[in-house]
Amino acid sequence: MTRSTTLPKRKMKFVERRLDGGMGMAVARRTYLRRVTDSETKKERWETWGEVAERVALGNTLLMKNIKGLGKKHQDEEYEIMRKHIANASLLMSGRHLQHGDETQPERNMEVFTNCSTASASYVVFYLLMNGSGVGRAYDDDMCVVNWDNMPNVRCVLSEDHKDFVWGFDESVRDAKHKYGETDNIHWFEVPDSREGWSQAIELMEVMAFEKKFKDELLILDFSKVRPSGSVIRGMQNRPASGPKPLMNAIERVATVKGAGMSPWKQALFIDHYLAECVLVGGARRSARIATKSWTDPEVFEFIQIKRGGFLWSANNSITVDEKFWKQRTQHAKKVLDSVLQASYYDGTGEPGFVNQHKLVQNDEGYDDYIDGKYAESQKYHPMERTEKLLSLVARNASAKLYSQIPNPCGEISLNMLGGYCVIADVVPYFAPTLDAAEEAFRAATRALIRVNTMDCLYSREVKRTNRIGVGMTGIHEFAWNTFGFAFRDLIDEEKSQEFWNTLARFKRAVVEEAESYSKKIGVVTPHTNTTIKPSGTVSKLFALTEGAHLPSMREYIRWVQYRSDDPLVRKYQKKGYPIKELRSYKGSTAVGFPTQPLICRIGMNGELVTAVEATPEEQFKWLMLLEKYWIVGVDAQGKPMEDTGNQVSYTLKYDPSRVTFKEYTEMVSKYQGLIKVCSVMPMQDTTAYEYQPEQPVTISEFMRVLNEIETDESLLEDIDYEHLKCASGACPI
């Protein structure tokens, strides 16, 4: 493993927690562990978890060079605390940090270390998606100021010498120059070979449409400089490049919006979807989005219906509502509510959802400054000067709105709809040896996230203005049982489990105190928001923990992973006794079954464990309200509510549509949805009719039978595939 000369010598002894031997190790190898050369054997091997802790702690603490007045001694101390807690898994930085964190962090852009973001222009949505960020956007009428009917006619061309050029299909640069020439009405743009270059191509299209004077002119985008498909991308762990074709194809689809007679918000929704598909085709980056629209917009009903039938799948849609919506109940409000309930229940998708904008923490100090249109630029990305007029108009409209916050795609962070980031981490108090050690981990996470906010990024002005962070928790149910002896139904009995809730409030106060004191120490704004609970799907799987605030979905299950039938591993697994099944629906594919049991099922809960299926919707809403009271908002030592500096709890409440009627569903949503900040309410899907189920529930006797038939072989490790890395809530499709 390559070591930086700045790596401090180890001072503390630390515990290196073992990854979960089955799924955890498989997830780690697929997502976070790097291949390194062993210093003794000189052979290539996987990183250890302790080595991950070292490089992630090093990368984060090297950010102190961005901060004046902090000496080497403080850096070494912070490194030791971070390394100790990450190695022990009492602190789990979000997956972006585990994947990318190392000594190069100070030279990289912050987007690589952020999970999600918001944007108010299509080219920015595209740029952030390419950086691996999930993106939220408000498609309110006043936030979509570009009429794409005014975009120029666009042609994509490629040099005939380019490796990806296809004769008879692509238009060559040579032919285009011969055909179109270079008059004043013909605009040529050579697309640079970078994420920034691709975004600039979309920016040019968007700003020309905004300026309304190029509708009858021609824009030719030359992709000859873009590296061909299969080329190595060094900044993406040497993964293969997609080549220029995905973006060329996406731009051709964007061009179909022109003349289709759609309102600007609808144009933007389609265009962002086409660009998100392009990112997904790249293979190495996810494409997670949330699309919101205000309940007061005239065309809100079209937005409610727009995904029905399986369209525009790259975004999760939500209606932004406020206190008036739930209390006033005008004819329009009732019609919107009924339309949403009909679509979300009968489509079986849970969409669109609701976002209670009036409950999201919003601080407008300095917000009007964005009217200059210079709130989306960084050292790596400089918008064109003419783009500032577009961004200025959007900012002017946003500043006139009563509510200017929307959540990120997973719903756990309150963000400025003009643009902002969620910078998040998980603390696992279950793995901390004492409550004092857990508090130390919460404080360490707070400082680490504030340091991330010193990195260069597109929204540096917003980051400096708000310094938002999200310190979260995972493994909450294991912690409650192990430390206090409380199961889920004990926890929602507030009086009975008061000791647990007081402890969460103690941790909340520690985060608030640390955020204030550390921000003052390094000369930055105190974070506008500080606590959250994110979905925590992938990082929790490393140690088989319950994910974020969610209850376990199953007690025991068989995790089926697809392989090509001729893969030698299939025969090896079969020989060792793993269940195998040939898939008729997927020709040439074989599924191997891995028996899997969450940690919470191994800690002896004496039959008191409650799964998500077994908890009623009312119980789950009560759970969310208590989490908001004690962890998101917090209470002081006397039990009085603190000033709300929290974000949100990302939670997917699942109900059984075969047991819950539409009338009951309507009553449930109407009663509870307005009482919490954000919650996805989704129906459970019956997957038993499908030949391939990623996760098949089994009884404990079936589980033990399969387990007993497997011959242990440490050289034959379990695997995991794409299906298991999806966010279980559906909030962050990859």
Instruction: Quick: pLDDT tens for 318-361.
Output: 999 999 999 987 999 999 999 999 999 998 888 999 999 999 99
User: Does 728 score more than 60 pLDDT?
Assistant: no
Pick the CATH number of 145-262 from 3.30.420.40, 3.30.1620.10, 3.40.50.1240, 3.30.70.20: 3.30.1620.10
How much is the pLDDT for 691? 64
How much is the pLDDT for 160? 95
50 is written with which tokens? 């302790």
User: Does 5 score more than 50 pLDDT?
Assistant: no
How much is the pLDDT for 730? 40
How much is the pLDDT for 727? 53
Rounded Cα gap, residues 121 and 144, in angstroms: 8
Alpha-carbon distances of 324 from 152, 333, 356, 527, 674, rounded to whole Å: 42, 9, 11, 29, 10
pLDDT > 90 fraction of the chain, expressed in percent and rounded: 70
pLDDT > 70 fraction of the chain, expressed in percent and rounded: 92
Question: In CATH terms, are 145-262 and 557-596+686-734 the same topology?
Answer: no
User: Does 721 score more than 80 pLDDT?
Assistant: no
User: Does 731 score more than 50 pLDDT?
Assistant: no
What would the mean pLDDT of 84-107 be, rounded to a whole number?
95
Rounded Cα gap, residues 231 and 344, in angstroms: 43
| Beta strand extents in 143-271 (DSSP E only) | 153-157, 186-190, 218-222, 232-233, 239-240
Asked which of 345-349, 573-577, 621-625, 690-694 is least confident by mean pLDDT, the reply is: 690-694
235 is written with which tokens? 């900044």
What would the mean pLDDT of 576-605 be, rounded to a whole number?
87
Using one digit for the tens of pLDDT, what is the confidence trace for 86-95? 999 999 999 9
> For the chain, what are the domain ranges?
23-110+423-527, 145-262, 557-596+686-734
Average pLDDT taken over every residue of the chain = 90
| 3-state secondary structure labels for all residues of 88-118 | HCCEEECHHHHHHCCCCHHHCCHHHHCCEEE
Rounded Cα gap, residues 454 and 464, in angstroms: 8
Strands 531-533 vs 646-649: parallel, antiparallel or unpaired? parallel
User: Does 12 score more than 70 pLDDT?
Assistant: no
pTM of the model: 0.91
User: Does 280 score more than 80 pLDDT?
Assistant: no
How much is the pLDDT for 282? 47
How much is the pLDDT for 725? 56
Rounded Cα gap, residues 668 and 661, in angstroms: 10
CATH class of 557-596+686-734: alpha beta
Using one digit for the tens of pLDDT, what is the confidence trace for 361-395? 999 999 999 999 999 999 999 999 999 999 999 99
Q: State the pLDDT confidence band at 8, using cuts at 50, 70 and 90.
A: low
What would the mean pLDDT of 627-633 be, rounded to a whole number?
98
User: Is 132 in a helix, a strand, or coil?
Assistant: coil
User: Does 3 score more than 50 pLDDT?
Assistant: no
Using one digit for the tens of pLDDT, what is the confidence trace for 400-444? 999 999 999 989 999 999 999 999 999 999 999 999 999 999 999
How much is the pLDDT for 283? 42
How many Cα neighbours within 13 Å face the side chain of 163? 11
Query: CA Rg, the chain, in Å?
Result: 26
H helices within 306-358, ranges in order? 323-328, 331-346
449 is written with which tokens? 């996230």
How much is the pLDDT for 50? 96
How much is the pLDDT for 121? 98
Q: State the pLDDT confidence band at 616, using cuts at 50, 70 and 90.
A: very high
Using one digit for the tens of pLDDT, what is the confidence trace for 180-219? 988 889 999 999 999 999 999 999 999 999 999 999 999 9
User: Does 604 score more than 80 pLDDT?
Assistant: yes
- Our CA angle for 100, 105, 106, nearest 5°, is 165
